[in-house]
Amino acid sequence: MSTSATATTTRLGDAVGELRRPRVESPWRRAARRFLRHRLATAGLIVSLLLILAALFAPALAPRDPLQISILDKFAAPMTKGFVLGADEVGRDLVSRLLYAGRISLLVGFAAMAVTIVVGTLIGLFAGFYGGRVDAVLMRFTDALLCFPTIFLLLVLAAFVGASLLSITLIIGLTSWMELARILRNQALTLRERDYVQAGRALGASNAWLIRRHMLPNTLGTIMVAATLNIANAVLAESYISYLGYGIQPPEASWGNMLNNAQSYFSTAPWIALFPGVLITLTVASFNFLGDGLRDALDPRARR
Amino acid sequence: MTNYLIRRVGQSALLLVLVTAIAFGLMRLAPGGPESVYALSPTMRAEDLARIRASFGLDQPLHIQYVKWATGMLTGDWGRSYRDSRPVRDVILDRVPATLELTITALAFAIVVGVTIGVLGALRPNSASDYLATIGAMVALSIPTFWFGLMVIFIFAEKLDWIPSGGRETLGAGFSLSDRLHHLVAPALVLGLVLVATWSRYTRATMLETIGQDYVRTARAKGVAERHVVWSHAFRNALGPLLTLAGIQLPFLFGGALVTESVFTWPGMGRLFVDSLGYRDYPVLMGVLVVTAILVIASNLLADFLVAFVDPRIRMR
């Protein structure tokens, strides 16, 4: 009787003690813990890191020169003549081409994402922070761009400006910032009414300082999530325009343009069409899962 | 309500002006200008080119060109195709039915399947089937539509020979409904897959929100049958956001249609666009851009009207 009472007291005491010293966990640590609990997001992180490493070390990993033509080996099936994933219509090694194509596709993905984030953040924060006429002009322009299907804009611009690594990157970046701008604008509209922003203003802080010190850090979570999801979208966009022939130009390989003529070789060499698509899907899916996990991890409303 | 609708119509009109201005400006980006096609001809002399410029009105200031072109659009004069000199309006209108046939079928399929999956997921959140559906939707969103189309053609047309590998009908066979449907199934399902994913995700999220509301708990407490609670109380309130999604999704749908039409050689607007791009047929390109944008603006407006119609809270504003 008495022992169990003591036990209860101790347990109660422990509980009180725990209440008194709450575990101090920094927001970033908490985000990391929540993120890792998300199994799919972790898998997405691992797969995307592997893909990035494979692209970085493509020259070391590729068994052959991706551009080396060898007519005798044309349409070599996977696992024959030393071609692990087979050879294409002019006998180029598919593994090597996929590795080098991954460099291009991922490079475009990351660089276009950077453009999207810079433009989207600037337009969104300016519109929301300044409000009034600036907001009206910027947001009507954003709305108007959102009326066009992105692929239509991408194709027209790519056809007119001409395809190069730089132009494709800019085109993708400049046609996908609108949604981020809209979200950030709404956040900035509420943020600018907050007491600490008003206090800063009353103390004579400049607009630039307020944006840098308050707007940007408070929207960083949104921006990081958007950045991750945008890599996925940019990789997808590059594959679409390259598949349709207006993106990365052969002989340089990208996952999209490797599928360019794949349909004509269906009966002889279906593997040419299979592997690039699998890699695009894998890449896009892992960045999507990563972004989804980040969103859950950084969501301040969700507890635990 | 009337004020709200009038305001929305006004906003849409402004948007229309902006959208046409952007499309117009975009075409001016074309290298060498719209007359560059003629400059390609080796027998073309500089003074002939100048005459062509003048006949197109290209020597006038930009804003005058825009106003001229915009009034032309309004009065049904959309210019002539560079490729075969047919009126652009006819060239485009010829392709609209095929695109609508494909997109509406895909959307209908996506709504039925996506909403069902989404509602079921919201009823049993975090169950094994919900988890699977969530993963499936994410993967579906990550597959490039054109590649999925290629794989479908490879498996079901090349290997199994269940479906034709492209086109809208068997050429020269005359109209037959079963033949049309036979051609429609694969592209509609391919285009619909991504849409199923967005619809199921969005329905699930919206339903989870409405199902947690007080009025749903009240209905359950009163002993209302669960089926009635789900569909008449929770789902009815989720309908507004879903209708808005249908409107917002349209540009995405047309973009997907362009890719699907290219893979399945479907004679719609998307394929017309890709073909015209190859021929640098600027009047047709601009026409398709503007027509899709108008369809997008109109359907967003329609979605807002419908939302106001089903949701009295908005009607009151």
- What radius of gyration, in Å, describes the C-alpha atoms of chain B? 24
- pLDDT at residue B304, as a whole number: 84
* pLDDT, tens digit (0-9, with 9 covering 90-100), for A21-32: 555 667 777 777
The answer to whether residue A14 is domain-embedded is: no
- pLDDT at residue A2, as a whole number: 43
- pLDDT at residue B231, as a whole number: 86
Describe the crossing of helices A39-56 and A271-298 by its angle, rounded to 10 degrees. Answer: 130
The answer to whether residue A98 is domain-embedded is: yes
**Rounded CA separation B201/B42 (Å):** 56
CB contact under 8 A, B147 and A277: yes
**Rounded CA separation B216/A168 (Å):** 50
Q: Hunting for tokens 């609108």 — which residue is that?
A: A178
B255 touches chain A (CB under 8 A): yes
Chain A CA closest to residue B297: A147
B262 touches chain A (CB under 8 A): yes
* Helix or strand run (H / E) with residue B288: helix B282-310
Query: Averaged over A246-260, what is the pLDDT?
Result: 88
| Closest to B290 measured CA to CA, from B17, B57, B38 | B17
The answer to whether residue A2 is domain-embedded is: no
Note the helical H segments in chain A.
2-20, 27-37, 39-56, 58-61, 94-130, 132-146, 150-161, 165-174, 178-191, 195-202, 207-210, 216-218, 220-243, 271-298
* pLDDT, tens digit (0-9, with 9 covering 90-100), for A189-211: 888 888 888 899 899 888 889 98
The answer to whether residue A5 is domain-embedded is: no
Instruction: Find which of A105, A152, A172 to mutate to test the B interface (most B CBs within 10 Å of its CB).
Output: A152
Q: Which two tokens stand for residue B46?
A: 């500089």
Instruction: Find which of B150, B152, B165 to mutate to test the A interface (most A CBs within 10 Å of its CB).
Output: B150
CATH number at residue A143: 1.10.3720.10
- Structurally, chain A folds into a number of domains equal to 1
**Rounded CA separation B169/B101 (Å):** 13
Q: Which two tokens stand for residue B62?
A: 């930009």
- pLDDT at residue A48, as a whole number: 93
**Rounded CA separation B260/B271 (Å):** 9
CB contact under 8 A, B154 and A270: yes
Q: Chain B closest CA to A175's CA: distance in Å?
A: 13
The torsion defined by the Cα of B27, B31, B34 and B39, in degrees rounded to 10, comes to: -170
The answer to whether residue A304 is domain-embedded is: no
Instruction: Find which of B36, B126, B134, B142 to mutate to test the A interface (most A CBs within 10 Å of its CB).
Output: B142
The answer to whether residue A281 is domain-embedded is: yes
CB contact under 8 A, B144 and A239: yes
B15 touches chain A (CB under 8 A): yes
The minimal CB distance from B141 to the residues A162, A256, A288 is found for A288
**pLDDT value at A304 more than 50:** no
B195 touches chain A (CB under 8 A): no
A251 touches A67 (CB < 8 A): yes
A246 touches A156 (CB < 8 A): no
Q: Chain A closest CA to B110's CA: distance in Å?
A: 19
Please tell me whether the overall predicted TM-score, pTM, comes out greater than 0.80 for this model: yes
Query: Averaged over A4-11, what is the pLDDT?
Result: 47
Indicate the average pLDDT of chain A. 84
**Rounded CA separation A165/B44 (Å):** 34
The answer to whether residue A24 is domain-embedded is: no
**Rounded CA separation A207/A188 (Å):** 13
B146 touches chain A (CB under 8 A): yes
CB contact under 8 A, A240 and B144: yes
- pLDDT at residue B314, as a whole number: 67
Domains and CATH numbers, chain B: 1-95+280-317 (no CATH), 96-267 (1.10.3720.10)
State whether ipTM is beyond 0.90: no
**pLDDT value at B242 more than 90:** no
B131 touches chain A (CB under 8 A): no
* pLDDT, tens digit (0-9, with 9 covering 90-100), for B98-120: 999 999 999 999 999 999 999 99
Q: B253 forms bridges with which residues in the sheet?
A: none
- pLDDT at residue A1, as a whole number: 39
Euclidean distance between the first and the last CA atom of chain A, given in angstroms as a whole number: 36
**Rounded CA separation B198/B208 (Å):** 15
Burial A26-65 (b: 16+ CB within 10 A, else e): eeeebbeebbeebebbeebbebbeebeebbeebeeebebe
- Structural domain for A88, as ranges: 29-297
Q: Chain A closest CA to B14's CA: distance in Å?
A: 9
The answer to whether residue A147 is domain-embedded is: yes
B285 touches chain A (CB under 8 A): yes
Query: Averaged over B182-205, what is the pLDDT?
Result: 91
**pLDDT value at B52 more than 80:** no
**Rounded CA separation B56/A19 (Å):** 79
Q: Chain B closest CA to A220's CA: distance in Å?
A: 24
What is the percentage of chain A residues whose pLDDT exceeds 90?
Answer: 40
